[in-house]
Amino acid sequence: MWLTYWWWQGLVFAGFFCIGFPQLGHGTLYDSWWANNILGFTLDTFVLAPFFAWKASHNAHHKAVGSIERDENYVPHLRSDYKLPPKERSRTADYAEVFEETPFFTLARIIFMQACGWWLYLSTNAMGSKMYPQGTNHFSPYSAIFKPEQRVGIIISDLGVAFMASMLVLLGCLFGWKSVLMYYFIPYVLCNHWIVMCTFLHHSDPTIPHYRKGEWSFLRGAAATVDRPLLGWLGRFFLHNVSHDHVAHHFFSSIPFYHQPEVTRAIREVLGEDYNYDSTNSFYALYRSFTECCFVEEEGEIVFYKNRYGDAAREVAEGALKSIKEGGWDSDIQDKLEDTADDA
C-alpha cells in the first residue's frame, strides 16, 4: 500500500513542479500576472521549490539553451575539469583512470544524482553556468544569477520554503516524524527524482550538440533539445507532456502546455530530420546519458559529449559548418516557423 501511495504521490508532486515552473513561471496559463505567480508560488512552495528563484534562472536558461558559455543548467564538464591530458596525448589508461568504476558505483552515483541533484543545483549551482562565481546559489538574493529587481522575489521564495519546512516540522511534532517521512518526504524525494530525470534528459544526450559563442543561436539551441515519451501516458497526464513536447516548449515557451502537442506536430514538419525524438525507454536513456555524457572538448564551436573512453557519438563533418551557414539553416527555419504560425 505504501509503495503504491509513494509512486502516485511522487508523480503528483512532480506535476505541481511541472505546472509551476515551465508553465506558470513563463506566465502562460492566465492573462493575469498575479494569477500565474500566486498559483505557481503556492504549488512550488508546497514541494519546497523556490519559485521566483528558479523562475529567474529558468527564463535565463530559455534565452541561452545549448550555449556552453551562457546556459544555466546541465552545462557539460570540460576535458580540463577532469585534468585529462590533451586529446592528442590521451591514452586509454588516462580515461580509465578517471572514469573506470564498478557498475555498483555507477548505480550509486545515479541514485545520488536523482535524489540530491536538484538540491545540489539549487544550493551549490552544480552543473550550472560556469560564468558564476563559487558559492552561487538559488537562495541568496545577491547571487550572481539574479538581477537587482529580482531580489524581492528571491526573499519571498526563501520565506515560502522556510514556511513549508516549518509546517513539516510542526506536523512532525504533532503526528510523529514517521508520518512526515511516509506521507511527505518519500514522495518528495521521488518528485525530485522525476524533476532531475526530465530536465537532465531534455538537454543531455550523446547525439545532441552544444554550441560556443561563434555558432550558438536561439534556434540552434532550441533544436538541440530532445523529446521523449517519458513515462508514457503517465507523463502526458501527470507531468503535462513536459517531456513529450519539450522541443516545442523551447521554441515557443509562451504557449501553454495544452496547446504544445499541436505545436510539436507543426515543429516536426518544419524541422524535418533536425527534430530530435528519442523513443528509447527513459530509464535506459537516463543510464545511457549518465554514463556516456562525460565531458566535451575545450575547443570547437560545436561540440558533442564524449564518453568514458574519450569517443563522441557524433562529430561535425568537415565543411558542414560552411554549408549550414551558406544554406542559411537559421533563416530557413525562421521563415518556415513564421509561415506555419501564420497558417495556424
Ligand X SMILES: *[C@@H]1O[C@H](CO)[C@@H](O)[C@H](O)[C@H]1NC(C)=O
For ligand X, the binding residue among 26, 210, 220, 240 (CB under 6 A) is 240
Rounded to the nearest whole angstrom, what is the least distance from the CB of residue 145 to ligand X in the complex?
30
**Residue 258 interacts with ligand X (CB under 6 A)?**
yes
Q: Residue 84 in contact with residue 94, Cβ under 8 Å?
A: yes
Nearer to ligand X, 237 or 309 (CB): 237
Does residue number 188 form part of the binding site for ligand X (CB under 6 A)?
no
Choose between 230 and 286: whose C-beta lies nearer to ligand X: 230
Question: Which residue among 77, 212, 236, 308 contacts ligand X (CB under 6 A)?
Answer: 236
Q: Which residues contact 325 (CB under 8 A, 6 or more apart)?
A: none
Q: Which of 36, 241, 276, 289 is the binder for ligand X (CB under 6 A)?
A: 241
DSSP count for the chain of H helices, then E strands: 15, 2
- Residue 275 Cβ vs ligand X, minimum distance, rounded to whole Å: 15
Strands (E), the chain: 210-211, 302-303
* Per CB under 6 A, 261 contacts ligand X: yes
Residue 243 binds to ligand X (criterion: CB under 6 A): no
Rounded Cα gap, residues 261 and 241, in angstroms: 8
Across the chain, which distance is largest between two alpha carbons, in Å?
Answer: 68
In the complex, least distance from residue 233 CB atom to ligand X, rounded to whole angstroms: 9
CA dist., res. 112 & res. 178, Å (int): 23
Q: Which is nearer to ligand X, 24 or 296 (CB)?
A: 24
Within 10 angstroms of residue 2's Cβ, the number of other Cβ atoms is 9
228 touches ligand X by CB under 6 A: no
Q: Least Å distance between CB 19 and ligand X?
A: 9
C-alpha cell of 294? 562525460
Residue 241 CB, nearest approach to ligand X (Å): 4
**Which residue is closest to ligand X by CB?**
261
Q: Which triple of cell numbers denotes residue 46? A: 508546497
Per CB under 6 A, contacts with ligand X among 30-59 are none
Q: Select from 44-52, 200-208, 233-241, 271-279 the region that touches ligand X (CB under 6 A).
A: 233-241
Stretch that binds ligand X, among 7-15, 26-34, 236-244, 279-287 (CB under 6 A): 236-244
Stretch that binds ligand X, among 8-16, 143-151, 211-219, 237-245 (CB under 6 A): 237-245
Listed in sequence order, the residues at least 6 apart from 192 whose beta carbon sits closer than 8 Å to its beta carbon are 114, 115, 116, 117, 118, 119
Name which of 193 and 244 has its Cβ closer to ligand X: 244
Of 7 and 258, which CB lies nearer to ligand X in the complex structure?
Answer: 258
Q: Are 210 and 73 in contact (CB under 8 A)?
A: no
Helices 186-203 and 103-124: crossing angle in degrees, nearest 10, is 90
Q: CA angle at residue 231 from 226 to 232, to 5 degrees?
A: 90
Count, residues near ligand X per rule CB under 6 A? 7
The nearest distance, CB 22 to ligand X, in angstroms, is 12
8/263 Cα distance (integer angstroms): 29
Neighbours of 8 (CB within 10 A): 14
The Cα–Cα gap between 87 and 92 comes to 11
Whole-Å CA distances, 204 to 14, 68, 74, 104: 20, 13, 7, 22
Binding-site member from 13, 200, 257, 290 for ligand X (CB under 6 A): 257
Q: What residue ranges bind ligand X (CB under 6 A)?
A: 236-237, 240-241, 257-258, 261
